[in-house]
Amino acid sequence: MIDLLAPLPDAPEPDWAAAFRLPIVDCGEALEPLGTSQGFLVWPAYHRLGIANAPAECHARGGVFQRLLQAARLLPDGLRLVVLDAWRPFAVQQHLYDTLYNILRQHEADAEPAELARRTREFVAPPSTRADAPSPHLTGGAVDVGLCDRDGRWLDMGSLFDEATPRSHTRHYENASDDHGRAIRDRRRLLFNAMRAVGFSNLSSEWWHYDYGDQLWAWHHGHPTAIYGPAQVQPLEHLWRQQLDALRHPS
């Protein structure tokens, strides 16, 4: 039986360089739209915030979709899983990274570039389309999730989604001594233990970020290879061309 209120384990910051050195043997799973799901809610946060190039739908690999459904079923009655982001275009990743880096540089004018990059990477992975080292969200294996009640009202998770402060660290409330802090701790435990039970790993600096199949997931679990490399949501024009080519050159 899964203990959804089990304490959150200590988790160091990932060794990103080591993770990106892990080879990728892509299993070929397609990206699937998550908005058709009846098992969890989808609220594409970046599109709703008006960020340029952010898709109006959340897409993820088929294996991720299945595990999100499984995690949602593990939650207690009255709680629902909400997907905030999944596959992310490179342009959006670049925008998020550059924006946070520049804000940190303005607030900490004396900080060295390497320290600014480290602080930025705490909350936004470096943008990369490299076939051997893609940004996690570009693979369709990384998802950002939260919790709401049965009526769709957000639950207080202790920080805003994408909040760039220590309160966003997954274990920030683990030793809380007041009722409010313990309530947040328990919600984070519920989310973490449900997601971990179905195979996801968590990014320790972001309570909302979970990975399956990408290099970060492989690093966390000690797997020799990742199973998801860079992926792309194909535009309608590309799909039409594929269909016409298939008709012209049947196998």
Annotated catalytic residues are 206
CA-nearest of 78, 28, 228, 23 to 143 is 228
The DSSP secondary structure of 160-197, one letter per residue, reads -TT--SGGGSTTTTTT--SHHHHHHHHHHHHHHHHHHH
Which of 40, 34, 37, 82 is CA-nearest to residue 58? Answer: 34
- Parallel, antiparallel, or unpaired: how do β-strands 79-85 and 142-149 relate? antiparallel
Cα–Cα distance measured from residue 39 to residue 216, given in angstroms and rounded to the nearest whole number: 26
Find where tokens 């080879």 sit. 23
Calpha distance 220→54 (Å, rounded): 28
Determine whether the annotation assigns residue 209 to a binding site. yes
Can you tell me the distance from the alpha carbon of 114 to that of 172, in angstroms, rounded to the nearest whole number?
25
24 pairs with which residues across the strands?
226
245 assigned binding-site residue: no
Amino acid at 76: P
137 annotated to a ligand binding site: yes
Count of beta carbons in the 10 Å neighbourhood of residue 28 = 10
| The amino acid at 54 | A
What residues form the annotated binding site? 137, 144, 209
What residues form the annotated binding site for Zn(2+)? 137, 144, 209
